[in-house]
Amino acid sequence: MSEQAPGIIYMAATPIGNVDDASLRLRELLASADIIAAEDTRRLRNLCARMEVALTGTILAFHEHVEDERAADLIEAAQKGQTVLVVSDAGTPTVSDPGYRLSVKAAEAGVRLAPLPGPSAALAALSVSGLPSDRFVFEGFLPRKHSELKSHLAELADEPRTFILFESPRRTAETLRALRDALGGDRRAALCRELTKTYEEVTRGTLTELVVHTEAEPVLGEVTLVIEGAPKRATTSIEELAQQALALAEREGIRLKEAAATVAEDSGHRPNAVFKEALGAG
């Protein structure tokens, strides 16, 4: 097909669970690429077996320990006119997966890099989190060392955008406790596990509620966490906002709760807190 032009390195997204999410382009390129560089060759063969795709090209292991040395070979192959397909275990290469160093070197060498978009655990989780998605940041896996983790979370405490994390199931409860302690227990979050798979589950709540949830029962499967960004710093006192809400409700003839939500918008105060203050002041 026309998209299989020679001399291209394709960065191809693979299903994160449900094999039916594989695109037609992925299926065609898996069957026709000259070289397939896979994070785990056994998982690649298993995926292709489930998709009933016959592999005809050369299959190479392409994990973090061999990425540097293999990158030169893949670039040379593309320069000679071969089609190279790069796939990670699940999702998109370079997103907490091998591929970044290859993409940098390929760009420097003038080799064409082409995206083959598809499933992404980060975006899938964001889309069902119930949290703001107009501005977000992907943080990948948090540092493991306590000192580095503490420093990193201190930076995230003031991050205004929704942020997305990957975590292993055995560390999820511990990570949620660290997030609660650093960001505050009332920060909203979503724990998304086994997305697109049989036992898919999305649990929403405050960080305190998610800590209780994960301490009550073990977390199983692939985990993505979506965390609400830091609230804007208040520039107007809650007492002033309460008075504004009372005046707005009287002037416009609307419910006090609606007026409180209106004046609280972008103030850094929660609408319910303004409403309660207004009730007391009224």
Question: Domain end: 90, 119, 148, which one?
Answer: 119
Q: Flag whether 233 is in a domain.
A: no
Q: Strands across the sheet with 83-87, in order?
A: 58-61, 35-38, 83-87, 8-12, 112-116
Report the number of distinct structural domains present in the chain: 3
Residues 52 and 134 in one domain: no
Question: Domain end: 119, 151, 182, which one?
Answer: 119
94 burial via Cβ count (<10 Å: 0-12, 13-18, 19+): middle
Mean residue pLDDT of the chain comes to: 92
Residues 102 and 43 in one domain: yes
The whole-model pTM stands at 0.79
Tokens of 39: 């994070």
Residues 208 and 276 in one domain: no
Whether the per-residue pLDDT at 5 is higher than 70: the answer is no
Per-residue model confidence (pLDDT) at position 265: 81
pLDDT tens for each residue of 175-199: 999 999 999 999 999 999 999 999 9
Residues 99 and 151 in one domain: no
Residues 16 and 77 in one domain: yes
Q: Flag whether 3 is in a domain.
A: no
pLDDT tens for each residue of 49-71: 999 999 999 999 999 889 888 99
Distance between CA atoms of residues 44 and 22, nearest Å: 13
Distance between CA atoms of residues 175 and 156, nearest Å: 13
Residues 160 and 209 in one domain: yes
Question: Domain end: 119, 143, 176, which one?
Answer: 119
Q: Flag whether 232 is in a domain.
A: no
What's the half-sphere exposure (Cβ side, CA atoms, 13 Å) at 94? 14
Per-residue model confidence (pLDDT) at position 281: 78
Which domain does 193 fall in, by range? 122-227
pLDDT tens for each residue of 242-278: 899 899 888 989 999 999 999 888 777 888 989 998 8
Residues 169 and 129 in one domain: yes
Look up the CATH number of the domain holding residue 108. 3.40.1010.10
